[in-house]
Amino acid sequence: MIIAVRKLVKRFGLKTVLRGMDFSVEPGEFVALLGPNGAGKTTFLRILASLSRPTMGQVNIAGYFLPHQAAAVRRSLGVVSHQPLLYGDLTAEENLRFFARMYDITNAEKRIVDVLGMVGLASRRRDLVRTFSRGMQQRLAIGRAVLHDPDVMLFDEPHTGLDQDACLMLDTVLQEVAARGRTVVMTSHDLARVADLASRFDILSRGVITASVERSQMDPNNLLAYYRQAIAEG
Amino acid sequence: MEPLSQAEKQAERKASTPGVGQFIRAVSAIIWKDLAAELRSRELLSAMLVFALLVILVFNFALELDAQARASVTAGVLWVTFAFAGTLGLNRSMAMEKDRGCLDGLLLAPVDRSAIYFGKAIGNLIFMLIVEAIVLPVYSVLYSVNLFNPGLLLIILLGSIGYVAVGTLLASMAVQTRTRDVLLPVLLFPLVIPILIAAVKGSTGFLQGLDLSDIRPWINLLLVYDVVFIAVAFMVFDYIVEE
């Protein structure tokens, strides 16, 4: 397993967000983590990304344990959230160059050219990121996340705030990211969208996984009914 | 884009095993990024500079003093100006990281997180020193006081390092709250009182031509404060920025 989470608990003061959650992912899987607002999806992804410390429980990613081997875990991860995590006053190329230095990437210039080509922004590489549309920023954010060629990609509602065309373009990039054998965990509210992308659907409700189903074991058109039933039973 | 082979990945991970070299490269990357962004936007420096110049102008009109009295208030006026302008810069510098979630982007990098602190702190120090380098000659002209004294410049450097060391740490804490603009000065000023007292006393000593033995305790206090707070920041920054 490339991600193994056991009895994960996260509390913020008196509020318990994750209640002994178990979760595991095999290498190369594309898991969609679905759930209503407040279910704990973002909190869970932030713990996997080592941005938040678990209160209790065990988290292992790519053979490394959190929080003690956080730096090694971070090297294995690429993270895309609904915020671009990019500097508006730097160009696309400068942003990637900065992150290449932070990740200590060898042969960075070639990787930057490759990544900009992959996300379709090669012609805008010298433009300031603040002049980019939301969709372009999100594509560049994916470029930033794959720059160090991570084994695991975490997407936290990457379609938020994008128009239909931008969503379609983002889906193409997401499919390309997944097609390269990377493991992907993505949270989303958009069931129709993830139905076409993910290979497995996990439903998170009130801090625990209440249901999990492989795409091959169900009709993706029934995902909404399955989701509603899992939430009701959870 | 061709993915790296397992052998290439392992070689890259081995080459970039966390060490002093990677730490320094990460610190320098953050400084470069802050300077490059500021060169484009000029938001931070212009705000700090305009504010600092306005403060010394206001003091110039408010304190209608003779030449001797002006010399005696110089250190106080200068350090009030630097402290206020510095707070403005610290707030802006961390807000820039928070606005687009960039702080998370930094925290996701596989480096010791204290590298982020040192990168931000050195960047803030550079901005503060630039503002001070412009304010000092302007003050000299307005108040007819000669400020080009190596001892005074040393005090300004040590005081600024201490101020920025504490300020960057507290700004990274305050930026996570909704009331960050108000919270930073409320947290910062009580903690930097020892620095401000030592810096004002030391600056006054050099401006009044006191013996070095009279000024040395203040220099020592500044040095100790700088070392202690840099060490504290090194140890606690990871916990401050993590949820």
Contacts of A86 in chain B (CB under 8 A): 100, 102, 105
More confident of the two residues B138 and B11? B138
Task: Map A144-179 to HEC letters.
Answer: HHHCCCCCEEEEECCCCCCCHHHHHHHHHHHHHHHH
| pLDDT tens per residue across span B68-88 | 777 778 999 999 999 999 999
- Neighbour tally for A38: CB within 10 Å: 12
pLDDT at position B123 over 90: yes
Q: What interface predicted TM-score (ipTM) does this complex get?
A: 0.90
pLDDT at position A29 over 60: yes
Q: Say how far residue B127 (Cα) sits from the centre of its chain.
A: 7
Rg (CA), chain B: 20
Question: Which residues are A23's β-sheet partners?
Answer: A5
Interface residues on A facing B, Cβ-Cβ cutoff 8 A = 12, 46, 49-53, 71-72, 74-75, 77, 79, 81, 83-90, 94, 98-99, 101-106, 111, 114-115, 117-118, 128, 144, 146, 148-149, 180-181
Which has the closest alpha carbon to B140: B209, B71, B51?
B71
B209 HSE (CA, 13 A, CB side): 2
Q: Find out whether B121 and B165 touch, Cβ atoms under 8 Å.
A: yes
| pLDDT tens per residue across span A13-22 | 999 999 999 9
CATH superfamily entry for domain A1-76+151-162+181-234: P-loop containing nucleotide triphosphate hydrolases (3.40.50.300)
Question: Rounded to 5 degrees, what are φ and ψ at B101?
Answer: 75, 15
What is the H or E stretch that residue B48 is in? helix B43-62
Give the per-residue pLDDT at B155. Answer: 96
Rounded to an integer, the average pLDDT of A146-162 is 89
pLDDT at position B15 over 90: no
The model carries a pTM of: 0.89
Total domains in the fold of chain B? 1
User: Domain segments of chain A: what residues?
Assistant: 1-76+151-162+181-234
| pLDDT tens per residue across span B200-232 | 999 999 998 899 999 999 999 999 999 999 999
Contacts of A85 in chain B (CB under 8 A): 100-102, 104-105, 108
Q: Find out whether A24 and A5 touch, Cβ atoms under 8 Å.
A: yes
Contacts of A54 in chain B (CB under 8 A): none
Note whether residue B79 is domain-resident: yes
Strands A200-205 and A30-34: parallel
pLDDT at position B11 over 70: no
Angstrom distance (rounded) from CA B153 to CA B177: 35
Give the per-residue pLDDT at B14. Answer: 54
- Neighbour tally for A215: CB within 10 Å: 18
Note whether residue B6 is domain-resident: no
Model confidence at A181, pLDDT cuts 50, 70, 90, reads confident
Angstrom distance (rounded) from CA B132 to CA B23: 29
Tell me if residue B146 falls in helix, strand or coil.
coil
Residue ranges making up the domain that contains B237: 20-241
**Sequence-distant (≥ 6) Cβ neighbours of residue A156 within 8 angstroms:** A41, A42, A45, A79, A80, A81, A82, A186, A187
